[in-house]
Copies of this chain bind each other. A is one copy, B any other.
Amino acid sequence: MMGKINGMEDIHELPPKVRRMYQAVIQMLEEGMEAGNLRVSTITERAGIGKGTAYEYFDSKEELVACAILYQMRCMFGWLEAALQEQETFREQLSFLLTEVDKRELHKNCFLRFLHMMTDNSEFNRMLQKKMHEEAFVPYLPMNVFAGIMRRGMERGELRKDIPMDYMVHCLFSHLLVYLMAVTAGGFFDTDPASVRPLVYQGILNELEERS
């Protein structure tokens, strides 16, 4: 029998039914269902396949859902990495990131989920985190994507070289996060994102940019 899927397969070589299940899972998560409450029958139904087929590819519902989430993250962060590479300066990259958050694109799909995961110590999440530390996944970790930006920015002489890399990543991460929340979390901050954006932008530059 064919070996089971473990989530580290090449994104472009997934069996079509697996891809359809992944898409069903992602879709449902975006509709606001909790990862733990997804039903196998609904997933396979949406994927247009038989219920038992899920178990041809995965050992359990949890495996299936976890792999789907990983898949999404690899897609999104992979895309993000590539998109950021196309920007020429750190300022452009920063603008690009903020605009992505504005478009509610990134956030809905990955950033928030990543954050949600990091603040969750359920058993399911521990499994997910374990998978995220597999070698094949590491380059997709947002921390590493951000570190790449920083490094290149420093090489171009745009960013300060006297701050530990860790803190630089944290700095970018945290500001983006708060902007993300201002954009999303309707109600907790009764704030106009448009008025916060320049402050966030400037705040990051103040901390990280090399002063000429």
A contact residues vs B (CB 8 Å cutoff):
1, 32-34, 36-37, 41, 112-113, 115-116, 118-124, 126, 129, 132-133, 141, 143, 163-164, 166-167, 169-171, 173-175, 177-179, 181-182, 184-185, 187-189, 191, 195-196, 199-200, 203, 206-207
Contacts and interface: CB of A to CB of B under 8 A. Distances in A.
A-B complex: 9 closest residue pairs judged by Cβ atoms: A174-B178, A174-B174, A116-B119, A170-B178, A34-B122, A167-B199, A166-B191, A32-B121, A112-B119
A211 to B, nearest CB: 13
Given A118-B181, A123-B32, A170 B196 contact: yes
B32 A34 contact: no
B112 A200 contact: no
A117 to B, nearest CB: 9
Nearest to A193: B166
What copy number does this chain have within its complex? Answer: 4
Q: Is the interface of A mostly helix, strand, loop or mixed?
A: helix
Contacts of A126: 32
A198 B188 CA distance: 29
Nearest to A122: B34
Contacts of A199: 163-164, 167, 170
Contact of A203 (B119, B122, B195, B207): B207
